A and B are shown apart, each in its own frame.
Chain A
Amino acid sequence: MKTIGIDAGSLNIKVVVLDDNKITGYSIVPAGDDGTASAKQALENALVLQGDACKTVATGIGVKLLTFVPQQKSITTCLARGVRFLFPSVKLSIDMGAESTTVIKLNDKGRLADWANHDKCASGTGLFLQQMAKLMAMPIAEMSHLSLKAQSRPEITSTCAVFAESEVISYVHRMPPTPMPDIAAGIYYSVVSRVMSLCKRVGIEKDIAVTGGVALNTGLVTILEKEIGTKVMVPEVPQIVAALGAAIIAGENAQKGITQ
């Protein structure tokens, strides 16, 4: 049976096509100004590869825009299904998206047991990292590599994106300037400290996965591993895990005969 999951994020719309428990296609399209049109485009891209319509479940912060998809599920449930599919041993998963960070805990059956998220401040999110890279006048990938060369790290506030920005500016412009690798590491530590507080709220338990677009940032993941005290699992395409979970749920719903 072929099913589709759509994750309408704040920056990107992700679509995953699942056929008999195998990912047979995916698509990531910028959300842009018209989320509905972008979602249809992402869906079309995936369906062009697949050729026919199938059961679909939508999720994500922009899910309300996807009125053409009758079945919707919350992001936490979808993340739990997606992570379990990719890494069956995972108990804790950290999803770092553009505008929010969500930590989910899975029970022995791989179902959602608890979650915690930051959604009130941009501090600690993908958009925050983008902004910091812009301040340091370098692409985000370069900032990531640079952080791996850090000798020390300055303290950067982890509670407010605006304050963090002015702190970074002061480190860049002070005489002598703080080395760029150290500033990059400081930024990542600030993000990781927020993530760690979420992890502690639900309880840290191995194995641990990191998903979402920010998981592509190796510098941040390296620091997270140091702080959390263990290696973490990162999917090949970490952005599509919630969409994958939605596609899995579409299959479950079809089996149960749920249509709404």
Chain B
Amino acid sequence: MTGTENSSQIVSLIRTFKMLNRFNRTRSDARQSRILYFDMLTEYYTQIKNAHDAGKMIASHPVFFPAEILYAMDIVPMHTEMTTWMDALFLKEQGELLAKGAELGLAPEICSPHRGVAGMFALQKVPRPDIILWSNLICDNTAKFGELVMQITGSPGYFLDNPFQNSPAEMSYLVGELKDMIHFLEQNTGRKMDYTKLSDIVVRMDHEIELYREISDLRKAVPCPMSIDGYLELLGADYMFPGQPASAKYLTLLRDELKIQVESGRGVISPERFRLMTLFIPPLYLINHLADIYAGLGTVSVVEPMFTRWSEGRLDPSKPLESIALKSFLLPERRSMYGLFGQTAINDITESAEQFKVDGAVYWAFLGCRHTCATIKIIKETLNDVDVPMLTIDCDLVDPTVNSKEDTQSKFQQFIELLEDR
């Protein structure tokens, strides 16, 4: 493929990120880490846009996929769900992608980011990936939709099988899977795995996980120094730039900014009236509006145990593949969303409530993610046992027809009244 191919969505995203940063740079109160984050996104999508002209291969991959392997092989990664998220967040063109997904026969009950990904490839909104990678981490939709993308794009693909449990046998199995995937990539791209580069990536990834833990600790401060829109940046930094110099720089800068705020006793909301736990992910198209709602009600999201609390463990650059496998077991999402929802996940919820001095919790019940919604009752009862009320809002991550701003605001208002009244 050459520069003649259609990449209208990518071009629009790049233009939007540049425009946002032009605006951010004129504001004295803009967070420098946010400016850096948008620069990173600009660079990420510029790499995708120019990949084929530069003679590079593009590999598309889903959430929770070890993109470190791709970076080490100098293959350009394209995070599929994040790209539909970005579309919902910044371009508001998700309706077109979802409509195309529906045309392909994907029912509304199926995860909307995945429906959007199918629509995005079918409409050729992004450059055609040369390789399709996918895995069963984190759900059945993730496990199956790669085959559909292969059919739409005609590109070869590889399915990475992730075991449920963390045992030596399963760790060794996952390392074997990674080796097989590398072999597949080498055969299909002509690129060789650079293990020295992979070790360097592991060094940075290990550092980044430590930075995530520090950032999480800083958010325990009262008042809390970070707002809910920072949550999505934390996700994007790992999902799109794992072990990359840019993400290490971003997380270091964010950590330092938060540290200064904590030391000076400045919160992101003043006065801070209520500290909330966020469960799952709020609708992306509402995120800016949500930040306003939170600010207006003196409310701040302080912890997201399902997404931003990494498990204990360190990566070892002398064993890069084993470290990449281990990282997939340290992922915050894995405890509550993959395999058993066990005592560790429950403890994580109660410990977070206590350590972050949470007043209430909001569960964004994404209708397309049925396996996580199955845990709502357990989580609610767990939180109620430690005297933390939980609001459940049925929603969709990218489809704006499920919740209106007004509906969300009204539910929030009711919940805040409940907290005030206790």
In-complex Cβ contact of A113 among B389, B392, B413 (8 A): B389
Residues of chain A lying within 8 A (CB to CB) of residue B43: none
Does B417 lie at the interface of the complex (its beta carbon under 8 Å from any beta carbon of A)?
Answer: yes
In the complex, what residue of chain A is closest to B419 when comparing beta carbons?
A: A112
A74 near B417: Cβ-Cβ < 8 Å: yes
The CA-CA distance from A113 to B414 in the complex, in Å, is 11
Nearest chain B CB to A201 CB, angstrom units:
8
A76 near B422: Cβ-Cβ < 8 Å: no
A76 near B389: Cβ-Cβ < 8 Å: no
| Contact residues, B371-422 vs A (CB, 8 A) | 389, 392, 407, 410, 413-414, 417-418, 421-422
A111 near B414: Cβ-Cβ < 8 Å: no
In-complex Cβ contact of A77 among B407, B410, B417 (8 A): B417
A69-97 to B contact mask, C-beta < 8 Å, 1/0: 00001111100100000000000000000
Nearest chain A CB to B253 CB, angstrom units:
40
Does A188 lie at the interface of the complex (its beta carbon under 8 Å from any beta carbon of B)?
Answer: no
Does A128 lie at the interface of the complex (its beta carbon under 8 Å from any beta carbon of B)?
Answer: no
Nearest chain B CB to A242 CB, angstrom units:
13
The CA-CA distance from A74 to B413 in the complex, in Å, is 7
Residues of chain B lying within 8 A (CB to CB) of residue A75: 414
A77 near B389: Cβ-Cβ < 8 Å: no
The CA-CA distance from A71 to B111 in the complex, in Å, is 41
Nearest chain A CB to B374 CB, angstrom units:
14
Residues of chain A lying within 8 A (CB to CB) of residue B421: 77, 80, 111-112
Count of A interface residues, CB-CB < 8 Å: 14
The A contact surface, by secondary structure, is mixed
Nearest chain A CB to B296 CB, angstrom units:
14
The CA-CA distance from A73 to B417 in the complex, in Å, is 8
Residues of chain A lying within 8 A (CB to CB) of residue B418: 76-77, 111-115
Nearest chain B CB to A247 CB, angstrom units:
16
Residues of chain B lying within 8 A (CB to CB) of residue A80: 421
A74 near B414: Cβ-Cβ < 8 Å: yes
In the complex, what residue of chain B is closest to A102 when comparing beta carbons?
A: B414
The CA-CA distance from A112 to B392 in the complex, in Å, is 15
In-complex Cβ contact of B422 among A73, A111, A119 (8 A): A111
Nearest chain B CB to A99 CB, angstrom units:
13
The CA-CA distance from A77 to B419 in the complex, in Å, is 11
A77 near B422: Cβ-Cβ < 8 Å: no
In the complex, what residue of chain B is closest to A111 when comparing beta carbons?
A: B421
In-complex Cβ contact of A115 among B407, B410, B414 (8 A): B414
The CA-CA distance from A116 to B414 in the complex, in Å, is 11
Residues of chain B lying within 8 A (CB to CB) of residue A74: 410, 413-414, 417
The CA-CA distance from A112 to B389 in the complex, in Å, is 10
Residues of chain A lying within 8 A (CB to CB) of residue B407: 119
In the complex, what residue of chain B is closest to A74 when comparing beta carbons?
A: B414
The CA-CA distance from A113 to B360 in the complex, in Å, is 11
Nearest chain B CB to A151 CB, angstrom units:
37
Nearest chain B CB to A249 CB, angstrom units:
10
A99-132 to B contact mask, C-beta < 8 Å, 1/0: 0000000010001111110010000000000000
Nearest chain A CB to B10 CB, angstrom units:
36
Nearest chain A CB to B408 CB, angstrom units:
12
The CA-CA distance from A113 to B413 in the complex, in Å, is 14
Nearest chain A CB to B279 CB, angstrom units:
16
A114 near B414: Cβ-Cβ < 8 Å: no
Which of A74, A107, A115 counts the most B-chain CB atoms under 10 A from its CB? A74
> Measuring CB to CB, which residues of chain A are less than 8 angstroms from any residue of chain B?
73-77, 80, 107, 111-116, 119
Sample of 8 A–B contacts (CB below 8 Å): A74-B410, A74-B413, A74-B417, A107-B422, A111-B418, A112-B421, A113-B418, A114-B418
Which 8 A-B pairs give the minimum distances between C-beta atoms?
Answer: A74-B414, A77-B417, A111-B421, A112-B418, A76-B414, A74-B417, A74-B413, A112-B421
Q: A75-B414, A77-B414, A114-B418 are in contact. List 4 more A-B contacts (CB 8 A).
A: A74-B410, A74-B413, A74-B414, A115-B414
